[in-house]
């Protein structure tokens, strides 16, 4: 069983992945907003029945998410999977880039994949460099991407080319051609949406 803090963190990540506010989740579950807030902060615990209500409202299987011991999950295959059809992925922003995050409903992932659309062409347009939580893989699907980092010269990548780099290093991804670029971005762990500016 997850601890209260783990369950709260799981609820928060799932809620954000679904694009819901605390108030909206409260309306869907009947659980008071203040109670949900305390749960997400690890300041209170909920009974099994209320956690089931939250799981149903978020559209997830409690056996594979909120109520699963992550140590046991790593020790034995769970058979879990997340299928993303065209248009199903959750829309977010990765810095200045719109992106579609897939498998957002699965927790305790080893990596998080997303497809990003890169339209900005200059560092001024991009804004501050970003930093992610772990190692990162960038594979250009179409167009040209230019990766700027704090420690390397800019790297230009065409469709079919890729780079594996430490996402914790400040970086910016720009479009290198006249047309927007689309790329697959894979970041280790499942905290990828919490980016920081450098």
Mean pLDDT to the nearest integer, 125-131? 90
Contact 183, 173 (CB under 8 A): yes
Give yes or no for residue 73 having a pLDDT over 60.
no
Q: What pTM, to 2 d.p., does this model score?
A: 0.61
- Work out whether strand 144-149 and strand 111-118 pair parallel, antiparallel, or are unpaired: unpaired
Predicted pLDDT at 90: 66
- If you average pLDDT over every residue of the chain, what do you get? 79
Contact 118, 181 (CB under 8 A): yes
For residue 57, give the nearest of 83, 21, 81, 5 by alpha carbon.
21
Give percent above pLDDT 70 in the chain: 79
Mean pLDDT to the nearest integer, 125-140? 90
The per-residue pLDDT for range 79-107, each reduced to its tens digit, is 777 777 777 666 777 778 887 877 776 76
CB atoms within 10 A of CB 36: 23
Convert 69-81 to b/e letters by CB count within 10 Å (16 or more is b): eeeeeeeeeeebe
Predicted pLDDT at 1: 38
Predicted pLDDT at 70: 41
Predicted pLDDT at 3: 46
* Higher pLDDT, residue 106 or 114: 114
Predicted pLDDT at 6: 67
Contact 166, 133 (CB under 8 A): no
Predicted pLDDT at 89: 62
């Amino acid at each position: 069983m997850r601890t209260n803090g783990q369950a709260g963190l799981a609820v928060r990540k799932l809620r954000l992945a679904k694009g819901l506010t605390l108030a909206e989740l409260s309306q869907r579950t009947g659980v008071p907003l203040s109670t949900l807030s305390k749960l997400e902060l690890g300041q209170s615990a909920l009974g099994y029945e209320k956690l089931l209500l939250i799981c149903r409202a978020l559209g997830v299987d409690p056996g594979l998410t909120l109520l699963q011991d992550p140590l046991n999950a790593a020790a034995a295959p769970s058979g879990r999977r997340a299928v993303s059809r065209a248009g199903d992925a959750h829309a977010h922003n990765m810095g200045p880039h719109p992106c579609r995050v897939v498998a957002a409903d699965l927790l305790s992932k080893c990596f998080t994949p997303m497809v990003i659309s890169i339209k900005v062409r200059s560092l001024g347009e991009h804004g501050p460099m970003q930093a992610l939580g772990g190692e990162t893989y960038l594979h250009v699907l179409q167009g040209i991407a230019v990766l700027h980092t704090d420690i390397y010269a800019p790297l230009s990548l065409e469709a079919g080319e890729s780079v594996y780099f430490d996402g914790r290093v400040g970086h910016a991804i720009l479009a290198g051609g006249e047309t927007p670029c689309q790329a697959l971005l894979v970041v280790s762990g499942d905290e990828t949406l919490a980016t920081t500016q450098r």
